[in-house]
A and B are shown apart, each in its own frame.
Chain A
Amino acid sequence: DAGVIQSPRHEVTEMGQEVTLRCKPIPGHDYLFWYRQTMMRGLELLIYFNNNVPIDDSGMPEDRFSAKMPNASFSTLKIQPSEPRDSAVYFCASSLRPGQHTGELFFGEGSRLTVL
């Protein structure tokens, strides 16, 4: 079975450049989550979508971050302009019905971003 697919797996860029991370959720899952993982802050929820609609973006750190889900099979997380403090592993996860009903999020393998 195809899991959550993220690209790129690794990205090294220079400060000020635009970064776009991509995610393909598991077909049929109607929830999609973007998380960021750092040593200092652990795993943070940035934003999540239900049926392609953003539900909660309160975790998005600032206006430099934006996320879209143009259709049920694709989402992007964009950072523009990027800064060194954005260096982290960014995870995408999808779910049929998180929390109470299934409790199971399916995570991709992450995109490791390094901003120099």
Chain B
Amino acid sequence: QSVLTQPPSVSGAPGQRVTISCTGSRSNIGAGNDVHWYQQLPGTAPKLLISVNTNRPSGVPDRFSGSKSGTSASLAITGLQAEDEADYYCQSYDGSLSGWVFGGGTKLTVL
């Protein structure tokens, strides 16, 4: 069981908007620790999508956005495209565990 909780799956039709939640606790996100998001396309290594809650690295489309509030964070994807079909992971630091933690991952299906 992951320290950060994500829905196992989400889906949406092309062009729609979907959000992926990442719920933590007072020892990680709620402690003010930053949240980062990764995209893992099938059979490939994870790729940084969002850093420090809201920052998009160069090359990441502005269809992807992140937010954080309290003990949770969210990744929003607008204008869904078939190429967005992948697994998405959130990541933060947990002070109780003294280590970096990931969510269990969310599989995005584009219908």
Q: Do A and B bind each other?
A: no
Question: What residues of chain A have their CB less than 8 Å away from a CB belonging to chain B?
Answer: none
- Chain B residues in the interface with A (C-beta under 8 A): none
